[in-house]
Amino acid sequence: MSRKQALLKRHRRNKRVGLLVALVVLCATGLAVAWWLPLVLLPMLWIAHEAWFADHLFYAPHDDYVYDFAPSCEVAGVSLVAGRLELPPLHLHGDETLVLQVGLRASWLGRLFDPGVRLRGGGVDDLQMFERGVRGLRYLNLSGCDQALAEGALHVNGRFCRTVGQPRLWVFRQRDARQQRVMVIAPHADDAELAAYGLYSQASESWIVTLTAGEIEAEHYQRMGLARADAARLKGRLRAWDSLAVPRWAGVPEAHCVQLGYFCLQLPAMRQTPDQPFASREAELTDTRLFRQFNTLALPGDDGVPTWNNLLADLRALLLRARPQVIVLPHPVLDPHPDHVCAQQAVREALQGLEWQPQMVLGYANHLHDNDRWPMGDSGAGVALPPVLQRQAMGQPYSLCLPTALQHDKAMALGMMHDLQPRLPFKRRLRRLIQRGLAGRRESAYGENEFFRKAVRRHELFWILEPSGHSGDTHHE
């Protein structure tokens, strides 16, 4: 069981216990006061739960985020004076990653509505949100605020919260990945778009490699009258097509889009027994070729056998053909999805001893262990740093700014993904309605699926990871 699954299991157990206690109290109240009172209070309690307690937040809002950045990147002499950020003269090119640590204290309204910090100045108007009831250290993403910082005109003001203590600013100067050959490793169709559409659409050359067909959980297609296996095959074929067709919207050549067609949630088992094939859990398939049929490149795994060894051979062949200077893959610490964990492990193994090595490895997180709403806030807002509650090797943050037109293109790319198109279940739509009315939350204008809110932002946030698998000097062209 993964850490996230364990946290979710504990969360659900605690919720059941809490509901049972509440039910006992309500019954006792009905016996002591009036029989009809529980009938009135019970729906009110359910509505309050949906409005304010339905988030999967597996830590306390008063916990500090813990980041350990290099002292050499910190700017000395930073302070907040009457809501304006003051700092010594700073020379910025505009492509740096800028991170500001602030202490936040939620007001009483910040327990009912999502608190946040508004950034204004130099043409920037951004609101980065945090947990309700926040009381601790948080990290704002100031990337793109270079003009306001240079002019001393950046205003930092709390909304339903206030800033406390001394702020700290880090400036990370990094190679521009958009000027390099980029290969994005996507465990499933849409992972590349969610994490890195802005990056790969602007890169000098891009490759999109999708590892699995994502064929499971095809209930939406079963409602069309299909049997379970037929629905899974249809979903897998559609997502395989999406993984190859949607990057074309960003100008990625057809020959640079590859779908390997391995089966969803089988990568962990494949890694445990590298030479043993593992069939699809739902599609009644033992052959990956149904989902690889649209590829234009010949690969070692075209025999259709779903083994870890075939996956590594496919990746090695693609790495040697593309020779990417930048590889983008799931973050090994932040992203807990089993297929995402195995995707980055597969790339690391494929690189071991390979004659070509990347100059930069960027990690992304489309899922988190501790907070299902991150990035918090609305579509179009900046992406504050995610919750990290203990010291661990995270890498250096690397943030790209997406202009509004590029955000629109990214939203359309996500809209073309079949897995993000079905309507939400009625319970989730009702929860959205309650939260909009009572908690002030807004839905994304781009689509119902939560990923439209989380992914279509003014930032794409990555982490520069230590390349492993080096067996000598890095090769460059």
Alpha helices in 285-415 (DSSP H): 289-292, 308-322, 338-351, 404-415
Each residue's pLDDT tens digit, 113-137: 999 999 999 999 999 999 999 999 9
Check if the beta carbon of residue 103 is closer than 8 Å to that of residue 73. Answer: no
Amino acid 477: pLDDT: 37
Alpha helices in 154-282 (DSSP H): 191-202, 219-222, 228-245, 267-272
Residues 6+ apart with CB under 8 A from 122: 145, 146, 147, 148, 149, 150, 151, 153, 154
Cα–Cα distance, 231 to 228 (Å, whole number) = 5
Backbone angles phi, psi at 180, to 5 degrees: -120, 170
Residues 6+ apart with CB under 8 A from 460: 195, 196, 197, 198, 199, 364, 383, 399, 400, 402
Cα–Cα distance, 221 to 134 (Å, whole number) = 41
Length of the chain as a residue count: 477
Each residue's pLDDT tens digit, 10-41: 656 766 666 677 667 667 766 676 766 777 77
Each residue's pLDDT tens digit, 266-290: 999 999 999 999 999 999 999 999 9
State which amino acid sits at residue 427. Answer: K
| Prediction pTM value | 0.92
Q: Is 390 exposed, middle or buried (0-12, 13-18, 19+ CB in 10 A)?
A: exposed
Each residue's pLDDT tens digit, 219-271: 999 999 999 999 999 999 999 999 999 999 999 999 999 999 999 999 999 99
β-bridge pairing 161-172 and 74-75: antiparallel
Rounded mean pLDDT of 358-366?
Answer: 97
Amino acid 228: pLDDT: 97
Each residue's pLDDT tens digit, 295-316: 999 999 999 999 999 999 999 9
What the block records as the tokens of 323 is: 């020779």
Each residue's pLDDT tens digit, 448-477: 999 999 999 999 999 999 876 333 333 333
183 forms beta bridges with 207, 327
10 Å Cβ neighbour count for 271?
17
What the block records as the tokens of 179 is: 């000027």
Each residue's pLDDT tens digit, 136-186: 999 999 999 999 998 899 999 999 999 999 999 999 999 999 999 999 999
Largest CA distance in the chain: 81
